[in-house]
Structure 1
């Protein structure tokens, strides 16, 4: 697990399968004999390195795609809040 904020970051987990949902491809990782977790491939070493991260020598805290998604979320929540306060 390579995602720095995941509780299992730094642990080596066995991939036991893949699945797809609305967010795209997910990997099923075995935590122990009874537990599994589902994570996006980019949180593991099983995906191609992100060019932004590679070019930035892993110094960037966010990718452009992450920041664009955050901006859309903030805009949507701000619009919703204005609509709620107008009523």
Structure 2
């Protein structure tokens, strides 16, 4: 796969040679609970950068390449507030408090019913 510059994207491994054997390809698990590829493990065939930051290029069995943020994979350490002994929490306490503040502020603007 080539980018707009005509060069192949860098691999998810430390080797960036296009002739690198498939055995060197890193396998990545999608950890985001709402992503369609959750919880599959897929080969990372490259990296790309856009205005939102780094994206990993994961390839499915049908040769489709998906662009996924590294934060949605097991390549990034999990937030300790998100990890629980029986699985993963979908929201952090900080996020819930921010949501409660937003709801309160919006409710006070609309007035009583």
TM-score bracket relative to the smaller structure: 0.5 to 0.7
| Structure-1 residue corresponding to 2:33 | 4
TM-score by length of 2: 0.49
Q: How many residues align?
A: 71
Shift of 1:15: 0.5
Q: How does 1:7-86 map to 2 (within 5 A)?
A: 7-54=36-83, 57=84, 60-63=89-92, 64=94
Of structures 1 and 2, the larger Rg is shown by 2
Check whether the contact 2:82–2:90 (CA below 8 A) recurs between aligned residues. Answer: no
User: Higher helix share goes to which structure?
Assistant: 1
Shift of 1:13: 0.5
Q: Distance in 1 between the 2:91 and 2:47 partners?
A: 26
Unpaired runs of at least 5, structure 2: 1-29, 107-113
Unpaired runs of at least 5, structure 1: 73-77, 79-87
Detail structure 1 runs of 4+ shifted over 4 Å in the superposition. Answer: none
* Structure 1 residues 53-72: Cα deviation after superposition (integer angstroms, max 9, x where no partner): 13xx255422446x86xx99
TM-score by length of 1: 0.62
Q: RMSD in angstroms over aligned alpha carbons?
A: 2.9
